Chains A and B, each alone.
Chain A
C-alpha cells in the first residue's frame, strides 16, 4: 500500500511566525507533489505544486522537496490567523503501463495561528 504520512497536529503558531508542515511518502517513483489547504467544512484548494528537488517559493509559501529522503514540506512565512486550516499533502501514484495517474492524500495537518 503506497502511503502518504502527515502529523495530524494541531500545529499551533503565533501570528507572524513561520509554520512548517511536513509530509513523507512511500512510493519512490512519485514525480509530482501538491499541497492543498482545506478550511473546515470546505473543499480542498490547491496552493502549491513541486516536481523537482529543492525549494519553490510562491508569496508567503515555500514548498521543499527531497526525493532521496522521500520528504516534502510546506513553509508558511508571516503566518496569519486566516491561514488556520488543515493542509493536505498529495503525491501522484502513477501506473506506468496504463498511463493513469492518481493522487494519494495524507490525512492532513491542522494549523492554528493565534493572533
Chain B
C-alpha cells in the first residue's frame, strides 16, 4: 500500500539532546513537508522540499534542521536550540503544483523528559 510512514510514534527528548524524526513515502511524490501542531492550534510549517537536495524554511524553522538526500525520505532533526519542542509533528507529501493536496503521515508525538 502506498503511504507516508513516520517513526517513531512517540519520542522523548532530554535537555540538550538532538532528536531525529523519520518520514518516508512511497507515493512517488516530489514535495514533502514538516508541520508542528500544538494543542488547539492549527498546523505550522517548519520546512518543505520540492526536489532532492533542496529545501526551504517555513514559518517556524528556528531550532530545526532537515535533509533531502532521497526522494522518498525527509527526516527532521529537532535540535537543542528548540526550547519548546513538545508538540505533535506531522509529515506530509504531495505532487508539485498549486492544485495538489497534501497527504499526511500518522505523526510523531514529541515530549520533554
Give A residues with C-beta under 8 Å from B.
4, 8, 31-32, 34, 42-46, 49, 51, 88, 90, 92, 94, 99-103, 105-108
Give B residues with C-beta under 8 Å from A.
33, 35, 40-43, 45, 48, 50, 56, 58, 90, 96-107
B103 and A32: CB pair below 8 A? no
Q: SS class of chain B's interface: helix, strand, loop or mixed?
A: loop
| Listed A/B pairs (20) with beta-carbon separation below 8 Å | A32-B99, A32-B101, A42-B107, A43-B104, A43-B105, A44-B90, A49-B99, A51-B99, A90-B102, A92-B99, A94-B98, A101-B97, A101-B100, A102-B33, A102-B45, A103-B45, A103-B102, A106-B42, A107-B40, A107-B42
B35 partner residues in chain A, CB cutoff 8 A = 105
B101 and A34: CB pair below 8 A? yes
A99 partner residues in chain B, CB cutoff 8 A = 50, 96
Nearest CB in chain B: distance from A99 CB, A: 8
B104 and A45: CB pair below 8 A? yes
Nearest CB in chain B: distance from A30 CB, A: 9
Give the docked Cα–Cα distance between A73 and B101 (Å): 17
Check A46/B103 contact, CB under 8 A, given A88-B43, A94-B98, A102-B45: yes
Give the docked Cα–Cα distance between A48 and B69 (Å): 32
Which of the residues B42, B98, B101, B105 comes within 8 Å of A105, measured between beta carbons? B42
B98 partner residues in chain A, CB cutoff 8 A = 31-32, 92, 94, 101
